[in-house]
Structure 1
């Protein structure tokens, strides 16, 4: 730690963030493995009982495993692209709120919050690929919604597709706003 470091507890925050990251990866692994293992027999039984056609049951099972595989690939990619968890993840809830407030208003109330906000903003701006990924997934889901509407599919399937579009749009908007706030914060802090 440098003598003039604005974050005097950097080592402790790094250890806490790493521990929390390991816990999150463990839970994600359990969900990605256990969920398809539990739901696969249920989908196959629904197919054999007649509540689903065998084609639908096989499609559902395939989709479960594709989602699990995609989740594993995304988790692996995030781990590879960001091998060091964000320093902010090792802080208390109060500190995270203060950093969010500083990013929103551009006015940190102390040097430690400013340093944490700068680190968070720089990290956010380095993740520009997320905006492109989420935008692509939004476009894919819009296309699927249009296909459902054009096929005059069942109302609940169309409603589910519409809800999916709304969620992806909200995620794109959230990433976009976060990136703008981060860039604005860094510009303001460079000028002051």
Structure 2
């Protein structure tokens, strides 16, 4: 079952952000665009490279009206320890959600049953709390945060321009399409 077009289900989790523990719920994902990136575990190999890359795009994403959250099934305490011991993770200033209850990865359908880990999943959520993008990777395949920026641009364009869609390789400022019977068979 796809989570695309569904509203974020209720959850409550503890998180680590800028030296503090904070509570995060589905309400935090409303009122602005949200980027939620699940990863398998703290103190691993590909994960810190991704989270550091995401930090490098964080200011750009914030300028676009989006807040960023990373999430794993580790605890918020583990996130703090990782933040204090890893050069890459020490740079992270966005919210790092810990969910040992497994609720959040189950809600987003990225929970590895029987393993207690989340798959590598990226979700873009609109200001109404509706999931617009879901992208799942195998554990060994790291994400490129610049691609997340491009997907957010397209999601925002479609959200703000009803009746228009973004074709393949669409870049901000390029032409879009207006689906109609007149286009059938002509693209």
User: TM-score, normalised on structure 1?
Assistant: 0.23
Structure with more of its chain in helix, by fraction: 1
Structure with more of its chain in strand, by fraction: 2
User: TM-score, normalised on structure 2?
Assistant: 0.24
